[in-house]
Structure 1
Amino acid sequence: MPKNAVRLLVVSNRLPISLKRDGDEWEIESGKGGLVTAMAPVLRNRGGDWIGWPGAGSDVDLGPYLAEYSKKAGYTLHGVNLTEDDVQGFYQGFSNEVIWPLFHDVQSRCNFAPEYFKSYYDVNGKFADVIAQVSTPDDYVWVHDYHLMHVASRLKEKGETRRTGFFLHIPFPPLDIFLKLPWRHQVIRALLDFDLVGFQTFRDRRNFLQCVTTLCKGYKPSGRGPVVQIRGEGRVIKAGYFPISIDYKDFSSQARTRAAAELGDQVHDAFRRRDLVLGADRLDYSKGIPERLEAMRMLLTKYPELREKISLVQVVVPSREKVPEYQNMKRRIESLVSEINGEFSEPGWVPVYYIFRNLDRNELVAYYRTSKVALVTPLRDGMNLVAKEYCACNVTGDGVLVLSEFAGAAAQLQRGALLVNPHDVEGVADAIYRGYHMSLDERRSRMHKMQTTIRKFDIYWWVDSFLKAAFGKHLDDFPPQEVVDYHTSEG
């Protein structure tokens, strides 16, 4: 693209790749997670840049690896070098032992170690340095998630002027919870240094505005609608809610291919054509997996007629496996699976199938196609894209989504999903039972409502609405530069 063209820069804790050591060599692995799923199709071939940590030590020359992947991906990668101490204090410490549990309403898991915030502040400065090096004041810098709430503040401290937007992918807590953060003033002030602060839901934005008016005297919100203004100290900051989504067309199209149909039939045959209830989650205490398993136990106890008719397929994607707390959680999940199967299994039938690994996209789509019920029951979640992916892949239009009322997706999908309190295991069991016996007409009506919403408010709508609010730009202002076969290039 022309040298002086305006670019969109995405900044996140991790790049959409990670570097893994294989002996004396380093291998590139494509990243996982909702942000990669959301942003990679948007940046591809639009001349965009992505800034983040690639997962390697600070002694590694990142250039050749990032250049190699950039050619295939259709956008340019820039790495931020972090030391092991940086990763421990900034990522494992402040991000995941302070902000993650606090913002997910699990204050008992917080470790408010003072050194964690210093590391967080310093690492945000390293990200600001790379942004300053590879961008111009005309570029649009879109910063993502709770790891990088101080980036705009650090840029300003360094005398760098950039147009910046921030999007929080996790929930923003209510005032009484946020006040427990020892660095509450620093964090809320840092967020106000962005030009736009975006959230998943109206509730998250409302919580943020309450914190601003309480902690930042002189700042006053005004306006109505998805985007409002905050005036204070001679500045105007925007705050809005923009529910993230998926590439509906891409998921739906793949689910309708012959290959997906054949793989779906293989899955169905493997379970002897029984009806499947699907759970698919990353290993984390916010996902409510033990509570879901207890709901399955309650279902089989309360409604014995469903035994041998349905099975729960629980997929758990490994995460933070070296952290003792997550190791304990994994053991608890495996213990519950063993208990339930030991109590209810019959020859030729197992009530819970447990899969502890990453499923590739083809496998996941096959399970989405095949499952009669999707069980998406986090205790707290910013959005949850699994719920939307399941709906997009439900080609027969008769699947049932049982969805936690504490997932951000509930605000958009409440007219079609069966909303539940994940702490109420009997209520979740009753919802599964209701979904199993629901009439075909009602199932199709509910699924149609959800698919219509997800199709209309897809990932491109999300990006377009954020860019318009933040910078007065549309996605079409960053047109594709060329077309490549990225399905092949990214494996």
Structure 2
Amino acid sequence: MSRLIIVSNRVAPISEGGPAAGGLAVGVYDALKETGGMWFGWSGDVLTSHPEGIKLEEHGPVTFATIGLVRRDYDQYYRGFSNATLWPAFHYRPDLIEFDRQEYDGYCRVNRWLAEQLAPLLRPDDVIWVHDYHLIPFAQALRALGVKNRIGFFLHIPFPAAQILLSVPRHRELVEALCAFDLLGFQTEPDLRAFCDYIETEAGGSLRRDGAKPVEVRAFGQTLRAAAYPIGVYPDEIAALAKDGESGRDVEIVKATLHHRKLVMSVDRLDYSKGLVERFRAFERLIEHDSRQRNNVSFLQIAPPTRSDVDAYRDMRFQLEAESGRINGRYAELDWTPIRYIHRQYERPVLAALFREAHVGLVTPLRDGMNLVAKEYVSAQDPDDPGVLVLSQFAGAARELTAALIVNPLDIDDMADALATALKMPLDERKARYGEMMQQLRENNVSVWRDNFLRDLKAGA
């Protein structure tokens, strides 16, 4: 049986049954355990000198292969082009794009260097699955080294419309690099359409569609296939985590300090794509327009730090702190703080248990590839008394979780109205919406995502 080789920017820390692994890591690790294989990528270490080689660790049939990056490579490949150029562009924020030619060259150089590190470890029948925007040139680099294995790519973030992508210098080179893969996977059909539109209108390529099968793409002298593969979660495992954690210390503290008030909850990385400021203002609008909500509902926003060495993220943190302080200063009472803004990380079991306590899950990104928090919130609910999901129309999850209250995150009044509707929704309607979403989550869990992608990648051989 051929091995599966997973390539990602970071290799997820896995301990069997441990809490650190998210849905993606669990799904990928399960696939590796079933087939045997290797997970290759950056260790997360930033070094003062070039690493001596790859660190290999065996965990049963799975080999973890990690390597550090020197400071220049980290700055140019990761902090620079990946997150200062590609991230804002792919999240429809061309106004935040920062482009530096040396950073682009560093991005391509690190991809070539990583490919050179992996190539000697490959066997002829290995199947290679590359993940996310950091590694767009990776297949092209492997092909230049003579690697002929099947190579697939999955993009976890949105793929932008052609007119947005045109704002990225070297956009044509990036799409040409994507065409070196055998199979491209996107989160949603709109992402797939955006890629196909670029191929036809900007790259002079052609497409052939055959029903539900992946689209055949011909461009830049290459023939490849592309399709949408929405990523899922393991809903029943999350439900078990949430139930087990109900009596945990963190949950008991929240219950005690709420004093029977209703809870609106959000969990997001601190990122400008998540619509956090708009969310704070929507909650303010709710309590401004309906005085009965004051002192009867609290909003808990958990926003762990991320990319603190990128200016846009530091600015985001300062803006959120100022906004939450302004709203609390205006509306807080001696025994009630409207917004609890927490800038730290919690483990998944704690979050699952807190989701179960929340009457409303507020997930309103301005743009998101999928957003697994939305799926985790629904999964964590008590079937006998479920909460309500308020979900942005611009999250990939909105195409599946249609029983959520779908909102435009740029319409503050729309979000405030949805919060009011969610807080007063009767039990029968909450149960019906929850049941519909749980059925969808079970039918399209992370194993289905993984198996569908690998089936199509291998089928093209």
Using the size of structure 2 for normalisation, the TM-score is 0.93
After superposition, give the CA deviation of every residue in 1:202-245 in whole Å (9 maximum; x if it has no partner): 00000000101123324333223262212357753110000011
Name the SS of the counterpart of 1:82 in structure 2. Answer: strand
Instruction: Kindly indicate whether the alpha-carbon contact (under 8 Å) linking 2:5 and 2:39 is maintained by their aligned counterparts in 1.
Output: yes
2:417 maps to 1:430? yes
Name the SS of the counterpart of 2:303 in structure 1. Answer: strand
CA distance in 2, matches of 1:269, 1:313: 14
Instruction: Kindly indicate whether the alpha-carbon contact (under 8 Å) linking 1:230 and 1:239 is maintained by their aligned counterparts in 2.
Output: yes
After superposition, give the CA deviation of every residue in 1:68-91 in whole Å (9 maximum; x if it has no partner): xx43x8621112342211111111
Superposed displacement of residue 33, structure 1: 5.8
CA distance in 1, matches of 2:445, 2:134: 25
In the other structure, the counterpart of 2:388 is 400
Name the SS of the counterpart of 1:312 in structure 2. Answer: strand
In the other structure, the counterpart of 2:449 is 462
2:159 maps to 1:172? yes
Aligned residue identity for 1:118 = D
Corresponding residue to 1:228 among 203, 215, 224? 215
CA distance in 2, matches of 1:322, 1:31: 23
Superposed displacement of residue 137, structure 1: 2.3
Instruction: Kindly indicate whether the alpha-carbon contact (under 8 Å) linking 1:226 and 1:242 is maintained by their aligned counterparts in 2.
Output: no
Aligned residue identity for 1:126 = W
CA distance in 2, matches of 1:17, 1:442: 40
Larger mean CA deviation between 135-144 and 40-49 belongs to: 40-49
In the other structure, the counterpart of 1:150 is 137
Aligned residue identity for 1:17 = P
In the other structure, the counterpart of 2:94 is 107
The aligned length equals 453
In the other structure, the counterpart of 1:197 is 184
Instruction: Kindly indicate whether the alpha-carbon contact (under 8 Å) linking 1:128 and 1:151 is maintained by their aligned counterparts in 2.
Output: yes
Superposed displacement of residue 405, structure 1: 0.3
CA distance in 2, matches of 1:270, 1:218: 59
Corresponding residue to 2:397 among 400, 404, 409? 409
After superposition, give the CA deviation of every residue in 1:136-179 in whole Å (9 maximum; x if it has no partner): 12111000000001111111112221210000000000111111
Aligned residue identity for 1:230 = V
Distance 1:131 1:59, change over 3 A: closer
Name the SS of the counterpart of 2:152 in structure 1. Answer: strand
Corresponding residue to 2:69 among 52, 68, 82? 82
Instruction: Kindly indicate whether the alpha-carbon contact (under 8 Å) linking 1:45 and 1:75 is maintained by their aligned counterparts in 2.
Output: no
CA distance in 1, matches of 2:172, 2:366: 27
Distance 1:31 1:364, change over 3 A: closer
2:35 maps to 1:39? no
- Correspondence list, 1:315-334, <5 A: 315-334=302-321
Instruction: Kindly indicate whether the alpha-carbon contact (under 8 Å) linking 1:218 and 1:232 is maintained by their aligned counterparts in 2.
Output: yes
Instruction: Kindly indicate whether the alpha-carbon contact (under 8 Å) linking 1:144 and 1:168 is maintained by their aligned counterparts in 2.
Output: yes
Instruction: Kindly indicate whether the alpha-carbon contact (under 8 Å) linking 2:23 and 2:446 is maintained by their aligned counterparts in 1.
Output: no
In the other structure, the counterpart of 2:10 is 14
Identity of aligned residues (%): 38
In the other structure, the counterpart of 2:360 is 373
CA distance in 2, matches of 1:152, 1:60: 23
Name the SS of the counterpart of 1:260 in structure 2. Answer: coil
Larger mean CA deviation between 30-39 and 453-462 belongs to: 30-39
Superposed displacement of residue 266, structure 1: 4.7
In the other structure, the counterpart of 1:54 is 43
CA distance in 2, matches of 1:325, 1:53: 24
Instruction: Kindly indicate whether the alpha-carbon contact (under 8 Å) linking 2:203 and 2:220 is maintained by their aligned counterparts in 1.
Output: no
Larger mean CA deviation between 289-298 and 177-186 belongs to: 177-186
CA distance in 2, matches of 1:435, 1:251: 22
Name the SS of the counterpart of 1:283 in structure 2. Answer: coil
CA distance in 1, matches of 2:258, 2:20: 30
CA distance in 2, matches of 1:74, 1:344: 56
After superposition, give the CA deviation of every residue in 1:377-401 in whole Å (9 maximum; x if it has no partner): 0010000000000111102352100
In the other structure, the counterpart of 2:233 is 246
In the other structure, the counterpart of 2:246 is 260
In the other structure, the counterpart of 1:488 is none
In the other structure, the counterpart of 1:23 is none
Larger mean CA deviation between 277-286 and 157-166 belongs to: 157-166
Instruction: Kindly indicate whether the alpha-carbon contact (under 8 Å) linking 2:266 and 2:363 is maintained by their aligned counterparts in 1.
Output: yes
Aligned residue identity for 1:108 = D
Corresponding residue to 1:342 among 326, 329, 337? 329
Larger mean CA deviation between 223-232 and 135-144 belongs to: 223-232
In the other structure, the counterpart of 1:447 is 434
Distance 1:53 1:278, change over 3 A: same
Larger mean CA deviation between 194-203 and 129-138 belongs to: 129-138
CA distance in 1, matches of 2:50, 2:224: 39
CA distance in 2, matches of 1:165, 1:9: 10
Name the SS of the counterpart of 2:246 in structure 1. Answer: helix
After superposition, give the CA deviation of every residue in 1:336-372 in whole Å (9 maximum; x if it has no partner): 1111111111222111111111111221111111000
Instruction: Kindly indicate whether the alpha-carbon contact (under 8 Å) linking 2:92 and 2:160 is maintained by their aligned counterparts in 1.
Output: yes
Distance 1:369 1:31, change over 3 A: closer
Distance 1:130 1:117, change over 3 A: same
CA distance in 1, matches of 2:21, 2:101: 31
Segments of structure 2 that go 5 or more residues without pairing to the other structure are none
Aligned residue identity for 2:8 = S
Superposed displacement of residue 448, structure 1: 0.8
In the other structure, the counterpart of 1:128 is 115
CA distance in 2, matches of 1:353, 1:15: 32
Larger mean CA deviation between 73-82 and 446-455 belongs to: 73-82
